[in-house]
Amino acid sequence: MSEVGPRDGLQSISPILPLEAKKAWIAAEAAAGVREIEVGSFVPAKVLPQLADTAEVVAFARTIPGLTVAVLVPNARGAAAAIEAGAHKLTLPLSVSETHSLRNLRRTHDQVLAEAREIAAMVAAVPQDSRPHFEGSLSTAFGCTLEGAIPDAQIARLAEGLMAAGCDEVGISDTTGYADPASVKRLIKLVRGVVGEEAVTGIHLHNTRGLGLANALAALDSGLTTIDSSLAGLGGCPFAPGASGNIVTEDLVFMLEAMGLRTGIDLEKLNAVRDILAKELPGEPLYGFTPDAGLPLGFRPAHEQKLEVA
């Protein structure tokens, strides 16, 4: 799984979390066993002042052993800054809805693909032993609050375009919370049919209509290995009206561990990370059934269960 709260969560709320609090959050999650965290986005400070300190956050996160430090980049300029900062993974969002793309990145599909080619060239120029992983993400893939349903042919064309531009993989994103388990399986099959199975490993899901965990399970059943989630369910998309509610990290980890799937994450330590947000973001809603209910009596994490699933 990949924790996206420090980026997707914080960009969607008004308060600005202090740098030291961001560091404490990331360090505490890593200590709980989370191995990949999207720590910010390289966008202009005037657009998202909440993420203006992303370079400093990346520098700190890189000091944590074993942590993959991921960032979102909206364009080649942001990617250059991310590479300079030393991010391990770059994600470029390409909205399959051109209306949303213009609203979110102020770029057409062709312009975003041109940015992808430029970013791929920059990544290729980095020495191989320190070269970041480059993901192109298909945003609004399950539908757009501005355009509605997006034709399969358009999604397939853009997925193919991202790989042709030089991306290492293509991610799928339910930016607006329109997905259901059947559509998750169908879209994964569609995109993999174009770019290959090995090029589609991750998905970004929202819980807008209460289907987040069901959709995550459908993605796992389809063979994906990375599910994005956000601590306390923070997040949404400020440029997609009505989009809200990332999957709650704590609930996702509980589901996986209860099923016998090893995450390497200590749930009690993970739940305690919420205290940082509660203190630094007073009045901001924190979601999650597992933290509220607590762990069931006799609950055993996956590594303690007799029947374990790899």
Residues noted as catalytic:
237
Query: Taking Cα atoms as reference points, which of 2, 10, 3 lies closest to residue 234?
Result: 10
The two three-digit tokens of residue 18, written as one number: 């202090």
d(CA 6, CA 17): 9
Q: Are 253 and 1 in contact (CB under 8 A)?
A: yes
CA distance 101 to 308: 43
First vs last C-alpha separation in the chain? 14
Neighbours of 229 (CB within 10 A): 27
Q: Which residue reads 């509610």 in tokens?
A: 245
Phi, psi (deg, nearest 5) at residue 234? -65, 140
